[in-house]
């Protein structure tokens, strides 16, 4: 925490005259000294626990665990042997000097203030490390191996014990999956993979390529929920999500039954989910890991010709289907006797499908247990996925418009008759004719050479076509219906320039890009969501992350991402602030109710870093400070830009995490609502309230893009 605050704000940090700045300074001070004390006590705990059983601590535990679970009579002998081995290993290590003295004349970069997370001062540095000191592990350092604080991987007892026991960098199973209980996917039988619980909350992917006998043990263990101990496995970063890890089994791996687990067995999120009988939307299916059983209710958009695929020398019939519901469209592969069972334009409920990931695209495939049953038509479907977009030339042989009446409640098709009241066959509700929704869909029969197609044009697309001609009808000067998707799907530069006219002659920057973003949003809403963003909110089942993923997936201008040191990183500033605003405007109720709103991070712009810097939660290197003061324009994805935005998110998350802990310790605060959104709002407003004082002291990064 920098002590420059009183200088900066000229405010008096004396406790008696508390001012907003002093309050937050106190909070940050409190938070920082809390952080210090809690980390030190954690480190002490860790050291004590290692000393508990024997002078060799963890190393003894691992040496002991590495062997089979011996009967009690051998335990003492085993323990002594393990302890001697561990002591020999530690003595061996003690002789080795881990650090070479730094070359003379080396001077660490001195930051402008404090020794808090620093952006762009060599971002490979770990957070909270003091500058200018010898490179000793500090109590804030996070071990790259066991993720605990207080030491580096080269000192990690877990890592060294594991290396001793199984050589080539693998991690001793007992430290990774001791007592793990396997949750296996349906794919498991082919000896491919499973998911394994390695702690109270943590599930890791278990991948293995070894003999069938092991898969049988794991399958039985999963069914009986028997705790297992896996010895000699490899722990590697997951190829899908590098923040997760995968447990690799191989021919050396030993599988033994554990007597007890030192954590509670985590029930799978929803057992129905596992059996593939709980219907999910396609948007949810797309967020489901591969090789999971799912059930869907979809409409068939297109079917491919039936083909034959040879699998283990036997020909198997196969057909590619494009299916959709209101949230998304996906590719479905059906096999064997299910081929030709699905017809275009019909809607079906399909159980026991399995998710697949092929070339980074999620799809679903039928399994031996798959069942299909026809259901009432699903009317408003997402359009086919891009990869299915094909261009054909030919002639229209037949065209027609179909007027359908939809139930006002569940939007299912209602058989229309001239009676005054009609009853919906799907939700059984009775309603007047007038309250029915009308949906027009076009059908085009199209032939291209010998191929014949039947195209269904949904009402939202027809609506776009119908309004496109009004593109230039700007005659009514004042009909700025900015909340109407039709309006902004067809907005012109002239019109937007008028709307965003400033009180000076300075034109709004990025006018062309703003028009493109508005048109994109309008077009997608009309094509996929009946022109209403509310339908996007409804499709996310009260999950902030689902809504965030839906926005980023369907509205490309929100894909606020960057390549950073070989990794793809995302900030999603506009997409997250969109979700947060809905939550805030509805005060967490009704359409603003999200069960996972706390997973939304702060919104990485150029203002919050100023406030974080002011409170000493962020610091800049001298080089970066110079760059910022020169007010050079940055480009999206520049190293400095990504550093500043990434460190801002990280620092805010740490503030949120520790503040949450402080709240938990103080019962008088138990009803206080706190998350990164509220911290962001506080910091953004604080910066705005102190714009003058900050302007000359704390520069910000300059950038022109559509992502902030």
Annotated catalytic sites, by residue?
605
Question: Is residue 641 near ligand 56B by the rule CB under 6 A?
Answer: no
Q: Is residue 552 a contact partner of residue 571, using CB atoms and an 8 Å limit?
A: no
Could you give the C-alpha distances from 35 to 21, 149, 213, 292, 708, in angstroms and in order?
20, 12, 49, 40, 31
- Report the residue number, 427 or 585, with the smaller CB distance to ligand 56B: 585
**DSSP letters for 414-454:** E---SSSEEE-TTT--EEEGGGSEEEEEEEEEEEETTEEEE
Using CB under 6 A, pick the residue from 42, 131, 265, 684 that binds ligand 56B.
684
Q: Is residue 598 a contact partner of residue 675, using CB atoms and an 8 Å limit?
A: yes
Q: Is residue 616 a contact partner of residue 28, using CB atoms and an 8 Å limit?
A: yes
Using CB under 6 A, pick the residue from 577, 579, 628, 694 that binds ligand 56B.
577
Q: Is residue 47 a contact partner of residue 671, using CB atoms and an 8 Å limit?
A: no
Could you give the C-alpha distances from 287 to 281, 282, 294, in angstroms and in order?
10, 9, 11
Q: Which two tokens stand for residue 41?
A: 């006590």
- Report the residue number, 294 or 651, with the smaller CB distance to ligand 56B: 651
Backbone angles phi, psi at 64, to 5 degrees: -70, -45
**DSSP letters for 30-53:** HHHHHHHHHHHHHHHHHHHHHHHH
Question: Is residue 581 near ligand 56B by the rule CB under 6 A?
Answer: yes
Contact letters for ligand 56B, residues 589-628 (x by CB under 6 A): -------------xx-xxxx--------------------
CB 677, min distance to ligand 56B, A: 9
Contact letters for ligand 56B, residues 643-682 (x by CB under 6 A): -------------------------------------xx-
Backbone angles phi, psi at 100, to 5 degrees: -95, 140
How far does CA 351 lie from the centroid of its chain? 26
* 18 burial via Cβ count (<10 Å: 0-12, 13-18, 19+): middle
Q: What is the pairing mode between strands 361-375 and 395-406?
A: unpaired
Q: What distance in Å separates the CA atoms of residue 253 and residue 234, rounded to the nearest whole number?
A: 9
Q: What distance in Å separates the CA atoms of residue 87 and residue 204, rounded to the nearest whole number?
A: 32
- Report the residue number, 249 or 517, with the smaller CB distance to ligand 56B: 517
- How many positions of this chain bind ligand 56B (CB under 6 A)? 13
Q: What distance in Å separates the CA atoms of residue 570 and residue 549, rounded to the nearest whole number?
A: 12
Q: Is residue 155 a contact partner of residue 214, using CB atoms and an 8 Å limit?
A: no
* 451 burial via Cβ count (<10 Å: 0-12, 13-18, 19+): exposed
CB 573, min distance to ligand 56B, A: 7
CB 508, min distance to ligand 56B, A: 13
Answer positive or negative: Cα dihedral of 679, 681, 687, 690: negative
- Report the residue number, 350 or 679, with the smaller CB distance to ligand 56B: 679
CB 703, min distance to ligand 56B, A: 9
Backbone angles phi, psi at 245, to 5 degrees: -130, 160
- Report the residue number, 221 or 602, with the smaller CB distance to ligand 56B: 602
- Report the residue number, 312 or 589, with the smaller CB distance to ligand 56B: 589
- Report the residue number, 552 or 577, with the smaller CB distance to ligand 56B: 577
Q: What distance in Å separates the CA atoms of residue 604 and residue 572, rounded to the nearest whole number?
A: 8
Contact letters for ligand 56B, residues 689-708 (x by CB under 6 A): -------------------x
Residues in the chain: 708
CB 574, min distance to ligand 56B, A: 7
- Report the residue number, 487 or 708, with the smaller CB distance to ligand 56B: 708
Q: What distance in Å separates the CA atoms of residue 311 and residue 209, rounded to the nearest whole number?
A: 20
- Report the residue number, 43 or 681, with the smaller CB distance to ligand 56B: 681
The per-type count for the chain, helices as H runs and strands as E runs, is 21, 25
DSSP secondary-structure letter at 142? B
User: What are the helix (H) ranges across 506-555?
Assistant: 511-528, 533-539, 544-554
- Report the residue number, 403 or 585, with the smaller CB distance to ligand 56B: 585
Q: Which two tokens stand for residue 476?
A: 């009514």
User: What are the helix (H) ranges across 67-156?
Assistant: 72-95
Q: Is residue 85 a contact partner of residue 63, using CB atoms and an 8 Å limit?
A: yes
- Report the residue number, 356 or 681, with the smaller CB distance to ligand 56B: 681
Q: What distance in Å separates the CA atoms of residue 533 and residue 526, rounded to the nearest whole number?
A: 9
Closest CA to 76 of 59, 66, 62, 64: 64
Q: Is residue 7 a contact partner of residue 16, using CB atoms and an 8 Å limit?
A: no
CB 675, min distance to ligand 56B, A: 13
- Report the residue number, 270 or 581, with the smaller CB distance to ligand 56B: 581
Residues in the site for ligand 56B, rule: CB under 6 A? Answer: 577, 581, 584, 602-603, 605-608, 680-681, 684, 708
């Amino acid at each position: 925490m920098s002590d420059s605050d009183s200088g900066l704000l000229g405010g008096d940090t004396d406790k008696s005259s508390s001012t907003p700045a002093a309050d937050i300074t106190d909070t940050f001070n409190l938070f920082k000294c809390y952080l210090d004390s809690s980390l030190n006590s954690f480190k002490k705990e860790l050291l004590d626990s290692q000393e508990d059983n024997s002078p060799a601590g963890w190393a003894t535990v691992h040496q002991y665990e590495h062997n089979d679970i011996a009967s009690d009579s051998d335990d003492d002998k085993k323990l002594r042997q393990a302890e001697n081995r561990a002591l020999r290993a530690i003595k061996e290590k003690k002789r080795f000097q881990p650090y070479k003295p730094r070359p003379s004349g080396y001077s660490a970069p001195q930051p402008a203030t404090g020794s808090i997370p620093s952006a762009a001062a060599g971002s490979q540095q770990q957070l909270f490390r003091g500058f200018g000191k010898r490179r000793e592990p500090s109590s804030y350092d996070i071990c790259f191996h066991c993720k605990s604080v207080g030491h580096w991987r080269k000192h990690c007892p877990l890592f060294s014990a594991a290396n001793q026991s199984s050589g080539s960098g693998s991690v001793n199973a007992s430290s990774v999956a001791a007592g793990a209980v396997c949750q296996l996917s349906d794919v498991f039988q082919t000896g491919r993979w499973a998911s394994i619980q390695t702690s109270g909350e943590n599930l890791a992917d278990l991948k293995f390529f070894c003999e069938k006998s092991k898969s049988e043990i794991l399958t039985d263990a999963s069914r009986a929920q028997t705790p297992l101990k896996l010895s000699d496995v490899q722990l590697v970063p997951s190829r899908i999500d590098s923040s997760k890890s995968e447990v690799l089994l191989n021919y050396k791996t030993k599988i033994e039954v554990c007597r007890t687990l030192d954590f509670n067995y985590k029930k799978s999120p929803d057992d129905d989910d596992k059996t593939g009988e709980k219907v999910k939307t396609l948007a949810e299916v797309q967020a489901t890991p591969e090789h999971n059983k799912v059930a869907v209710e979809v409409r068939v958009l297109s079917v491919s010709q039936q083909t034959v695929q040879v699998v283990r020398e036997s020909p198997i019939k196969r057909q590619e289907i494009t299916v959709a519901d209101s949230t998304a469209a996906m590719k479905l592969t059906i096999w064997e006797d299910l081929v030709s069972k699905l017809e275009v334009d019909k809607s079906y409920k399909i159980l026991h499908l399995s998710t697949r990931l092929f070339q980074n695209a999620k799809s679903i495939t039928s399994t031996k247990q798959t069942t299909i049953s026809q259901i009432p038509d699903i009317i408003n479907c997402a359009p086919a996925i891009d990869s299915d977009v094909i261009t054909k030339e030919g002639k229209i042989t037949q065209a027609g418009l179909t007027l359908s009446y939809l139930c006002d409640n569940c939007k299912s098709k209602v058989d229309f008759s001239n009676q005054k009241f009609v009853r919906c066959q799907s939700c059984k509700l009775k309603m007047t004719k007038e309250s029915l929704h009308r949906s027009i869909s076009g059908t085009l029969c199209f032939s291209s050479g010998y191929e014949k197609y039947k195209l269904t044009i949904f009402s939202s697309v027809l609506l776009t076509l119908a309004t496109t001609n009004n593109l230039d009808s700007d005659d009514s000067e004042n009909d700025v219906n900015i909340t109407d998707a039709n309006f902004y799907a067809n907005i012109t530069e002239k019109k937007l320039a008028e709307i965003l006219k400033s009180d000076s002659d300075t034109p709004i920057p990025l006018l062309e890009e703003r028009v493109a973003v508005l048109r994109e949003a309008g077009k997608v809403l009309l094509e996929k969501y009946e022109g209403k963003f509310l339908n996007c909110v409804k499709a996310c089942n009260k999950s902030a992350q689902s809504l965030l993923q839906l926005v980023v997936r369907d509205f490309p201008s929100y894909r606020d991402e960057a390549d950073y040191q070989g990794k793809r990183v995302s900030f999603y500033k506009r997409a997250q602030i969109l979700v947060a605003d809905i939550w805030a405007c509805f005060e967490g109720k009704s359409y603003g109710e999200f069960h996972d709103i706390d997973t939304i991070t702060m919104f990485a712009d150029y203002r919050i870093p100023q406030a974080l810097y002011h409170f000493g939660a962020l610091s800049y290197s001298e080089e970066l400070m110079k760059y910022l003061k020169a007010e050079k324009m940055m480009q999206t994805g520049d190293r400095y830009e990504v550093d500043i935005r990434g460190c801002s998110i990280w620092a805010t998350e740490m503030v949120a995490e520790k503040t949450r802990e402080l709240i938990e310790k103080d019962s008088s605060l138990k009803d206080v609502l706190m998350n990164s959104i509220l911290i962001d709002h506080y910091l953004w407003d604080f910066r705005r309230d102190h714009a003058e004082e900050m302007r000359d002291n704390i520069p910000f990064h300059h950038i022109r893009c559509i992502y902030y």
